[in-house]
Amino acid sequence: MQYPAPIAHLIDSYMKLPGIGEKTATRLAFYTLDMPDMDVHDFSTALTEVKQKLHRCTICGNVTEQDPCSICSDPTREKSTIMVVEQPKDVMAFEEMGEYNGLYHVLHGVLSPMDGLGPEEINIKSLIVRLQKQDNVKEVILALNSTPEGESTAMYISKLIKPAGIKVTRLAAGLAVGSDIEYANSITLKRAVQGRTSI
Amino acid sequence: MQYPAPIAHLIDSYMKLPGIGEKTATRLAFYTLDMPDMDVHDFSTALTEVKQKLHRCTICGNVTEQDPCSICSDPTREKSTIMVVEQPKDVMAFEEMGEYNGLYHVLHGVLSPMDGLGPEEINIKSLIVRLQKQDNVKEVILALNSTPEGESTAMYISKLIKPAGIKVTRLAAGLAVGSDIEYANSITLKRAVQGRTSI
């Protein structure tokens, strides 16, 4: 015996989401069945609209409804600095921080040969084109995750850009604020010591 | 700064699912953005169809596309036994077991005064009506979960049905097959001793 087709279909769809196996998908499908009609309708609409209405900004690659995105088209933003990030979520994190007033460039991933992600698969080429067109860029901040893939992507981009005489920086590595030395790994400690500052 | 409206809308929808908070919802929304168009379209369709095409069987309460459901309308099923379960998923579990050939009755919940779930909120009334109409029912098996709510719902239904002279049984309680005595709780052990069988 099998679940009725509409339930089976919905279980399959939930299973395509990351971290959701068959048991969770089944639970979510039956939960959906008991949700108010309006909520399920909204959910269904949200799914189609996210694909129809959102696009990548042709300048920075961030997801946006209008093109160029609100940051690229904002005349008050400092055009001389571009912060390179992995994901649209990272843009949001820096915008919430509120101190940064430059532009962004979203790679949509990092170099990861194991996963078949080379320079062509992520949004690097458009960064180079952008730097060639916009000759007022003075600094590129590589704000990539502190993972092996993030580090090697940063090195790769740095080598491409530096010959053009643009300053390339990366985020400081060290202890997270509020964290314990006891629990920090040795690479983090090494970076924290190397980058020590006077007080 | 906020996420573009279509993303924010989808995050809200994901957050209505059980066990999904804002961080996970955000991760799922961005993941959805990168999914193939076809998969997202299927997902959206599955959501609307699960609400449009599925209904409760007017006899047993199980979710079904046709009414009565395939089990209630199957002439080879034994009509003299009704197994009362909490959820449609439980019907599936017993059907996968394959030994049971009687009918079902799905309560869609258990009595839980703390959550405002009284006898009117779950599918009990239709069970009583069903037993009054169908005078050939000889046994009602209360296959409810071994939780305080499941147990008290079983007691409640048992008291309603027994006066009609119908045999009421419940599932055996004891050690799960493959489990360790060491890790069993004392109520389970007590039930296992009380229900010991000769070998």
**pLDDT, tens digit (0-9, with 9 covering 90-100), for B57-69:** 999 999 999 999 9
Q: Which of A16, A50, A65 sits opposite B39 (nearest CB)?
A: A16
Q: Which part of chain A is CATH 3.40.1360.10?
A: 59-198
Q: Residue A10: its chain B contacts at CB < 8 A?
A: 46-47, 49-50
- Give dist(CA B21, CA B27) in Å, integer: 10
pLDDT at B1: 60
Q: Residue B6: its chain A contacts at CB < 8 A?
A: 46, 49-50, 52-54, 65
* CB contacts < 8 A (A, B): 145
Output the pTM of the full model. Answer: 0.77
- Nearest chain B residue to A96 by CA distance is B1
Q: Residue A64: its chain B contacts at CB < 8 A?
A: 4
- Nearest chain A residue to B108 by CA distance is A34
Q: Which part of chain B is CATH 1.10.8.420?
A: 5-52
**pLDDT, tens digit (0-9, with 9 covering 90-100), for A58-73:** 999 999 999 999 999 9
Identify the weakest region by mean pLDDT among A132-141, A170-179, B111-120. A170-179
Give the gyration radius of chain A's Cα atoms. Answer: 22
Q: Are B17 and A28 within 8 A, CB to CB?
A: yes
B137 CB neighbour count, 10 Å cutoff:
20
Domain B59-198 in CATH 3.40.1360.10? The answer is: yes
3-state secondary structure of A105: strand
What CA–CA distances, in Å, run from B148 to A35, A131, A145, B151, B154?
25, 66, 48, 5, 10
Residues A192-198: what's their mean pLDDT? Answer: 78
Is the ipTM reported for this complex over the cut 0.85? Answer: no
Q: Are B28 and A17 within 8 A, CB to CB?
A: yes
Q: CA B178, B95, B123, A11: dihedral to nearest 10 degrees?
A: 90
Give the gyration radius of chain B's Cα atoms. Answer: 22
Q: Are B92 and A1 within 8 A, CB to CB?
A: yes
Specify the CATH number of the domain B5-52: 1.10.8.420
- Nearest chain A residue to B46 by CA distance is A10
**pLDDT, tens digit (0-9, with 9 covering 90-100), for A66-116:** 999 999 999 999 999 999 999 998 998 888 888 899 999 999 999 998 888
Is B32's pLDDT higher than 80?
yes
